[in-house]
Structure 1
Amino acid sequence: MTGNGEEAPFIFIVAGEPSGDALGGALIRALRKRTGGRVRVAGIGGESMAEQGFASLVPLSDLAVAGIAEVLPRAPLILRRVRETVQAIRQLRPDAVVTIDSSGFSWRIAHRLRRHGERLPLIHYVAPMVWAWRPGRARRMARWYDHLLTLLPFEPPYFEAVGLACSYVGHPVIESGADRGDAARFRASHGIAEDELVLTVLPGSRGGEVRRLLPVFGAALRQLDPMIDPFRVAVPTVETVADEVTAGIADWPGRPIVLRGAAAKYDAFAASRAAMAASGTVALELALARVPMVIAYRLNRLTQIVLDWVVKVRQVNL
């Protein structure tokens, strides 16, 4: 597709939440490297994809919700975004569509495209955790998608068994630079003395989880406050929830520092004695950086009741 005189390949990428946006940004970089820059991209993403010159068709904040109770009030908007995305794909006629994670949004797009008779290649990036709950999702995916890119090496057999071609591509955290932060740079940038202990707190990237976890983490810090002196708190966040995080930590001890961007986050990791974090990919980043961590998550009560019936594992992290 990229030979002399041939048109550059055109890929439509859909990322419905910040973690998918990070994968999308890395994917765009890799595609440009692979094609010598001769690739066109369009679709939906956030700040990581925007750094690659990507203009999202809709704001990522419209889509970055999780949990039954959280999704229900946003359902009309999300379904409208599904229709708009399908319409855009049918008008733009890309060579392939890559949907990243966010199965509730991504799969509706794939389903509607197939229902409209579209035969363009559909690729999904990040396998659903069928090994933990709702194994029937593998067969559903096989109806719509041509290929699945998995992050973990044990995942392909679950999908290949129902006829969906898979490629294990590895977890991007390994190449993220999470283990290459600069502690001295972080301390110098924020005027933190060598004898001040640094704790990193990561309350999540979605509005609902931030609202539920900030009080929990804040209470934990208040318990630690009389035991640790002096200490500072680093709070990495993403643009979609940055204002909410900033307001929510205003009364925390440890003179919290709000951080944006991966480089600042990884520098904070390098300087940190320990971390408290929302369950998710950040746990792998912290492990790679060798930061001892406490992982927490709090669901909306309705979501928790439903998941108690269907989840097959007792502990949840990634």
Structure 2
Amino acid sequence: MAPIAGDPRFSMVAGEASGDLLASLLLGGMRRRWPQLSATGIGGPKMATQGFTPWWPSDKLAVHGYAEALRHYREISGIREALAERLLRERPQLFIGVDAPDFNLGLEARLKAAGVRTVHFVCPSIWAWRGGRVKKLWRSADHVLCLFPFEPELLQGHGIEASYVGHPLADAIPLDVPRAAARQALGFTADEPVLAVMPGSRRGEINNLLPAFLGAVRRLHAARPALRFVLPVAPGLRPLVDQHIAAHGAGLPVELLDGRSHEALAACDATLIASGTATLEAALFKRPMVIAYRLHPLSWQLMKRMRYQPWVGLPNILCRDFVVPELLQHDATPNALADAVLQWLDAPQRAQALEQRFMELHHLLRRDTARTATDVIARLLAGA
């Protein structure tokens, strides 16, 4: 492999909390290879801990569904135009778009057409919905880093270079869950039941889901007074969560955490959780879960028409089965959510069988993603 002349200059864009986490893990591997690299663009606080310099914060891109995207279209479009112009002037050695396909693919296409090499990290879920994006991906990315093993073959069938690198969360989360340590850190005893309440990391998700989640908590508290409830709050969202608790959860024994979602998942007996990357984290922590999601009615109708699979939650998609319940849109009622949680708490043998299924999934996804992806990036930079 030919050496890289000088310290590599990368630009990256990651949207919302999950993209910030994925990008930070990738940056860690890249910095071990190239300690003096520079990385700039759009990112969040976890990326900043790896020496990333944000020109805009990632939460500018954290919109929820089509309706909210339309409301913020002008601002987001302006950011993308300004970023594209700056990157075309400064010409990084490589642009890495981390998820956020609605923002990144158009930007990548423009950069690629101008001769800037582009990598898209996280294959868009063309196997689940909006398959037409594969043509846009072909125009946009010189290479795609895939989190799931079935994706490279699918993309290569469309003429897109791709590599399976595993999922970085599978490396970051231990195979053996540190349950006792997490419970001690959060102040729970070894035997008291705990439910992690996780309504999402975006404002739209919280607005759509938290009232129903709190309604479910009220019913669960009445049915199981000994059940403990813990709710990790993403940075910057505490006032919004407090507002919903005042309106819908007054008097409920919900313990709020500033972040610490991994400790909550390690400690809990089950989780009530918004569909998204957090459900994969819950699976890697081998936790029973009830997946829920609600969208603006317009966004929901559009998404329903473009779905190809019966599953929405990542654990179910990867296992190709409804291994955990999904309660979506109008089905995500407080009563239904509470009943689904109780079914897990009342069936420890079922929960143990699920734990084994998730352990197999964890091994499949554990590929030292940061190193594997960095190897691919090094070959691209060397012109291999």
On whether the aligned pair clears a TM of 0.5, the verdict is yes
- Indicate conservation of the 8 Å contact 2:111/2:117, yes or no: no
Matched, 1:15 2:17: no
Q: Per-residue deviation at 1:191?
A: 3.7
Q: Which residue of 2 is the match for residue 174 of structure 1? A: 170
Going from structure 1 to structure 2, the CA distance change for 1:260 and 1:2 (only over 3 Å counts) comes to farther
Distance 1:308 1:190 in 2: 39
Taking structure 2 as the reference length, the TM-score comes to: 0.76
Q: Which of 48, 51, 63 is residue 49 of structure 2 equivalent to?
A: 51
Q: Per-residue deviation at 1:57?
A: 0.8
Q: Which has the higher contact order (CA 8 A, sep 6+)?
A: 2
Q: Per-residue deviation at 1:205?
A: 1.5
Specify the SS of the correspondent of 1:133.
coil
Specify the SS of the correspondent of 2:290.
strand
Going from structure 1 to structure 2, the CA distance change for 1:49 and 1:83 (only over 3 Å counts) comes to same
Deviation by residue 1:67-116 (Cα, 9 ceiling, x = unmatched): 111101100000011012112212322100000111111012123334xx
Distance 2:209 2:185 in 1: 27
Taking structure 1 as the reference length, the TM-score comes to: 0.91
Going from structure 1 to structure 2, the CA distance change for 1:246 and 1:185 (only over 3 Å counts) comes to farther
Higher helix share: 2
Q: Which residue of 2 is the match for residue 122 of structure 1? A: 118
Q: Which residue of 1 is the match for residue 85 of structure 2? A: 87
Deviation by residue 1:106-141 (Cα, 9 ceiling, x = unmatched): 012123334xx5101011011111112222211221
- Indicate conservation of the 8 Å contact 1:202/1:277, yes or no: yes
Q: Which of 308, 311, 327 is residue 312 of structure 1 equivalent to?
A: 308
Aligned AA (1:93): R
Specify the SS of the correspondent of 1:249.
helix
Distance 1:88 1:180 in 2: 45
Aligned AA (2:301): I
Distance 1:82 1:147 in 2: 21
Specify the SS of the correspondent of 2:144.
strand
Distance 1:287 1:311 in 2: 23
- Indicate conservation of the 8 Å contact 1:95/1:121, yes or no: yes
Distance 2:250 2:149 in 1: 40
Specify the SS of the correspondent of 1:56.
strand
Aligned AA (2:88): R
- Indicate conservation of the 8 Å contact 1:2/1:38, yes or no: no
Q: Per-residue deviation at 1:241?
A: 2.9
Q: Which of 61, 64, 67 is residue 66 of structure 1 equivalent to?
A: 64
Q: Which residue of 2 is the match for residue 113 of structure 1? A: 111
Q: Which residue of 2 is the match for residue 158 of structure 1? A: 154
Specify the SS of the correspondent of 2:96.
strand
Going from structure 1 to structure 2, the CA distance change for 1:80 and 1:212 (only over 3 Å counts) comes to same
Distance 1:271 1:189 in 2: 9
Aligned AA (1:110): E
Deviation by residue 1:249-285 (Cα, 9 ceiling, x = unmatched): 3535653222344xx3222222211110001122122
- Indicate conservation of the 8 Å contact 1:22/1:48, yes or no: yes
Distance 1:55 1:259 in 2: 27
- Indicate conservation of the 8 Å contact 1:232/1:254, yes or no: no
- Indicate conservation of the 8 Å contact 1:181/1:267, yes or no: no
Q: Which residue of 1 is the match for residue 210 of structure 2? A: 214
- Indicate conservation of the 8 Å contact 1:221/1:253, yes or no: no
Going from structure 1 to structure 2, the CA distance change for 1:245 and 1:176 (only over 3 Å counts) comes to farther
Q: Which residue of 1 is the match for residue 192 of structure 2? A: 196
Q: Per-residue deviation at 1:192?
A: 3.4
| Structure 2 unpaired stretches of 5+ | 315-384
Q: Per-residue deviation at 1:308?
A: 2.1
Aligned AA (2:81): R
Q: Per-residue deviation at 1:315?
A: 2.3
- Indicate conservation of the 8 Å contact 2:17/2:44, yes or no: yes
Q: Which of 299, 316, 319 is residue 303 of structure 1 equivalent to?
A: 299
Distance 1:170 1:18 in 2: 19
Going from structure 1 to structure 2, the CA distance change for 1:246 and 1:56 (only over 3 Å counts) comes to farther
Distance 2:102 2:296 in 1: 18
- Indicate conservation of the 8 Å contact 1:200/1:276, yes or no: yes
Deviation by residue 1:285-312 (Cα, 9 ceiling, x = unmatched): 2122121110000111001111222212
| Structure 1 unpaired stretches of 5+ | none
Specify the SS of the correspondent of 1:25.
helix
Higher mean alpha-carbon deviation, 284-293 vs 185-194, is at: 185-194
**How many pairs were matched up?**
312
Specify the SS of the correspondent of 1:138.
helix
Deviation by residue 1:191-229 (Cα, 9 ceiling, x = unmatched): 434453211011111111111010111111111111112
* Sequence identity (%): 36
- Indicate conservation of the 8 Å contact 1:225/1:253, yes or no: no
Aligned AA (2:128): A
Going from structure 1 to structure 2, the CA distance change for 1:2 and 1:255 (only over 3 Å counts) comes to farther
Aligned AA (1:233): F
